[in-house]
Chains A and B, each alone.
Chain A
Amino acid sequence: MASTASPTALQRVHGALRRVPTWSIYLLCMAPAIVYAALAFTDRLGADPARALEHALGLWGLRLLLIGLAITPIREIFGLNLVRFRRVVGLAAFTTIALHLLSWAWLDVAFDPATMWKDISRRPYITIGMAAFILLIPLAVTSTNAMIRRLGPKAWNRLHKLVYLIAILGGLHFLLLKKTIQAEPLIYLGLAVILIGWRLVPRRKAAVPARG
């Protein structure tokens, strides 16, 4: 816990982090999508490349959502403040999930509107996934400083609580697309529930510097 890192060590980490430009963290978070796109264009995704690409982008999108949700608990539990990077993590999650959706629309249903609508309306896991993506759009659109000012911090915060619902929907989407109930999607859904549940538990905030 907090006691394992001496205040000076934590200060040094924070000092170093201040020099890290946020765009570099965005690029780092986009690395999986970039790597998989490169593998796809060089035909190195194995026997069923469409499925491999779709699943990799979806899985990394979900992981980035959960990393974004972990930033507040990490600050409160360990005192490590990564809040400056939360916006780019969220934007990378949005971009990766948008590419996941694009890979499905392109490779799975060939942009055929009728097939797409049939899938969205009749396949519960696609309905849920699409709902999660649509809910992500206003969060991405309002991610700029100008939009935060325009909405006001209170309304902006309320809007961005949508990410809790989005993460749960993402976990459900993963769970429902498997033939059986499998451990991997259950673990992701469980992580989402823990990260959200943690915020609902009342706690003393005295020891934590009030920020962000």
Chain B
Amino acid sequence: MLIRDSRLDIPSSEITPRAVWLNRRALMAGAGSLVAGGLLSAAAAPLQTVKSDLTTTGETLTPLEDVTTYNNFYEFGTGKSDPSENGSSLTTSPWSVRIDGLVDKPGDYTLEDLIAAQPIEDRVYRMRCVEAWSMVIPWNGFPLAALLNRVGVQPSAKYVAFETLVRPSEMPDQDSSYPALPYPYVEGLRLDEAMSPLTLMAVGLYGETLLPQNGAPIRLVVPWKYGFKGIKSIVRISLTDQQPPTTWNILAANEYGFYANVNPQVDHPRWSQATERRIGEGFNARRDTLMFNGYGDFVASMYAGMDLTQNY
């Protein structure tokens, strides 16, 4: 089902004031309820999910409070608590994702449509940030491959490009005179990486829909890569035949490569990647970082023969 949503053409300057009073109405009507035709900011709502064989076992989950208050999402500020403090007013309904480029069925796909097309799976994954800290997060989502198969990837496509929402009225750093990053935030994967059964489009965590600080309403999760590859609040997915630009690589190509695979042997130029601090585990949080974040059995073959110190 493909729905062209003309409401998305409304300039954001007109949406904001309306969102303010509609959000208030929604709060009074009960947080998380969906008001037909209304604009709603994200509040966690329960999700119907199914189990998955691809979930990571043997790890202690990072507490929900840490997962939702210790975040990097520079659109809301560069401090770890900025996203949870500044993100709550993000309007996430209605939401649609434009899928274009080398696909058979391009168009604007609504979030409801993307979620309803297949079961939402429980996937526990380790998340390793390039800043040398990590979490274990129970995501809820669906394989990106399912979506790509549905829209029909053309044979000439070699890469998948992703783009985050630009909405300065709700994302303070985009409104800043000195933004921390060039916006929109963009990311990309090679097509085989995108088709990996591990690559997830997450719409929730801990069984509830995502909060803005975690990338509401839909984000990418690539567990064998550094966290910054997991682009948040996605509004566009494009299939291309050229390697797409990626935000951190644009900013500092010598520090952040296109691949950004977790690799304890290849250090960041300014700090070691050999170990990590597991969030929520106090002062005994240090542990060794695993090659491909421990997912090498699934993904190492994709990089066979590549020099990973060059393709970092």
Contact = CB atoms under 8 A, between A and B. Distances in A.
Interface of A: 40, 43, 46-51, 107-108, 110, 115, 118-119, 122-125, 176-180, 182-183
Interface string B202-235: 0000000000000000000000000000000000
B286 A110 contact: yes
A115 B78 CA distance: 28
B69 interface: yes
B22 interface: no
Contact of A123 (B251, B270, B279, B285): B270
A48 B270 contact: no
B69 A49 contact: no
Contact of A50 (B130, B251, B271, B285): B285
Interface in B259-306: 267, 270-272, 274, 277, 279-280, 282-283, 285-286
B272 A51 contact: no
A48 B279 contact: yes
13 contacts: A46-B69, A47-B65, A47-B70, A48-B133, A48-B279, A48-B285, A50-B283, A108-B286, A115-B272, A122-B267, A176-B270, A179-B248, A180-B78
A58 B3 CA distance: 53
Query: What band does the interface of chain B fall in when counting residues whose beta carbon is under 8 Å from A?
Result: 20 to 34
B42 to A, nearest CB: 21
A182 B285 contact: no
B199 to A, nearest CB: 24
Contacts of B285: 48, 50
Given A50-B283, A118-B272, A123-B270, A179 B70 contact: no
Nearest to A180: B180
B75 to A, nearest CB: 13
A42 to B, nearest CB: 11
A97 to B, nearest CB: 20
Given A115-B272, A122-B267, A183 B70 contact: no
B202 to A, nearest CB: 20
